[in-house]
Amino acid sequence: MVYDYIIIGGGIVGVSTAWQLQQRHPDKKVLLLEKESVYSKHQTGHNSGVIHAGVYYAPGSLKAKFCKQGVKATMEFCDKHNVPYEQCGKLLVATTELEVERMKALFERCKENELDVEMLNAEQLKQREPNIVGLGGFFVKDTAIVNYQQVTTKMAEEFVELGGDALLNHEVVGLKETADKVEVEAQHHGALKSFEGRFLITCSGLMADRTTKMLGIPTNFQIIPFRGEYYQLPEKYNKIVNHLIYPIPDPDLPFLGVHLTRMIDGSVTVGPNAVQGWKREGYGRINISLRDIADMVRFPGFWRVLKNNWKTGIIEMKNSLWKPGYLKLVQKYCPQLSLSDLQPYPAGIRAQAVMKDGSLVHDFLFAESPRSLHVCNAPSPAATSAIPIGGYICDKVAELALR
């Protein structure tokens, strides 16, 4: 069989794309390949589970647009398919005068993005969150929590019900493009299987650069992994906050800072930080991949990132290795927590696309060939925005087909 479309990657962006392609083209044959035994095992399954409102994004940008659309689309999907979520709202808390100034700028950006936000002074903050301290903050109503693995799995089920083929435990190890098709080789329980498609779409996240290289596409970026380490609070603290609690972020960095997140299962997590990773799929405490390290050190952009961010990197690494330093980050706004309250919780890995000049990619990044489209970077928050991002990818595929 020759498929009309083959999608590589069973994270939420890949599944959303496959699901929407099958909806748009019910007469076409669509194949989804995922190397793991379950969907969304990597970035999608290791984030905070937050449905973001779009606080941080430049007005008029695709990120702001997709995030706003994504909130609505994700909640509607959950309502339709009985996936539990909770619209608990988010509080951004300023604890220094510098953060107060940054907060005011962020608040104005929220209003430009037409978000439902409310500024709070220190007393109003205390009324809403008795266990949180700060000079002030603001409340973002349209923020929720969900289990994105449940969302992705339900989306994959919908894709199959529409007539799509989805294969787990299929790791792509080879790609070849000819004038009229793309050939895909995948390992399945030790056996090599081949598939043919008229068009290929890759949403391979942490392996995005390696997928483009399989087809010989010139690649001037590389995926640099950053570990986001989390802790979980004891059960006695499940009611410590009424909303999600976020610090005011440094606008020069692509990370949101250590926050308190009420998870959909009732627990509360602390995190994440952002430390240099030495393994693309390293979720344990000590993770080293010689191949991943070799790829990084041979890439000039890696050294430029280190040079440009060495002070932040040292602080993050110190707080990763020295738990009291990590605790201080959250004690800024929740002083009652102690060292023993930070209990183990799985880490996440962010696939940060970095250009050769050392610049961090904050927007969409695609690579293409006559018969393929590769999603090399889907900007945060990709999970929240997965439905509009999937639609955007489908549109790009349609545009390429017209060329």
pLDDT tens for residues 165-179?
999 999 999 999 999
Q: In the predicted model, what is the mean pLDDT of residues 204-218? A: 95
Q: Who contacts 402 (Cβ-Cβ below 8 Å, separation ≥6)?
A: none
On the question of pLDDT at 298 being above 80, the answer is: yes
pLDDT tens for residues 72-112?
999 999 999 999 999 999 999 999 999 999 999 999 999 99
Q: In the predicted model, what is the mean pLDDT of residues 23-28? A: 97
Nearest-angstrom CA–CA distance, 177 and 156? 27
Q: Is 381 helix (H, G, I), strand (E, B) or coil?
A: coil
Angle between helical axes of 12-24 and 148-161 (0-180°, round to 10):
30
- Preceding omega of 381 cis (within 30 degrees of 0): yes
Residue 75's nearest CA partner among 66, 84, 65 is 84
Nearest-angstrom CA–CA distance, 318 and 316? 5
Q: In the predicted model, what is the mean pLDDT of residues 154-173? A: 98
What confidence tier does 335 reach under pLDDT thresholds 50, 70, 90? very high
On the question of pLDDT at 47 being above 90, the answer is: no
Q: In the predicted model, what is the mean pLDDT of residues 303-328? A: 90
pLDDT tens for residues 357-394?
999 998 889 999 999 999 999 877 899 999 999 999 99
pLDDT reported for residue 254: 60
The CATH architecture to which 1-85+145-220+356-403 belongs is 3-Layer(bba) Sandwich (3.50)
pLDDT reported for residue 56: 87
Angle between helical axes of 323-331 and 310-321 (0-180°, round to 10):
110
Looking at every residue in the chain, the average pLDDT score rounds to 93
pLDDT reported for residue 253: 67
On the question of pLDDT at 255 being above 80, the answer is: no
Q: What is the DSSP string of 195-246?
A: EEEEEEEE--GGGHHHHHHHTT----EEEEEEEE--EE--GGGTTS-SSEEE
Nearest-angstrom CA–CA distance, 196 and 123? 63
pLDDT tens for residues 183-208?
999 999 999 999 999 999 999 999 99
Lowest mean pLDDT segment, chosen from 18-27, 101-110, 276-285: 276-285
pLDDT reported for residue 312: 84
What confidence tier does 317 reach under pLDDT thresholds 50, 70, 90? confident
Question: Residue 304 phi/psi, 5° resolution?
Answer: -70, -35
What confidence tier does 287 reach under pLDDT thresholds 50, 70, 90? confident
Q: In the predicted model, what is the mean pLDDT of residues 305-327? A: 89
On the question of pLDDT at 256 being above 90, the answer is: no
Lowest mean pLDDT segment, chosen from 154-163, 309-318, 354-363: 309-318
On the question of pLDDT at 310 being above 90, the answer is: no
Q: In the predicted model, what is the mean pLDDT of residues 107-121? A: 94
Q: Who contacts 148 (Cβ-Cβ below 8 Å, separation ≥6)?
A: 12, 40, 44, 45, 47, 49, 383
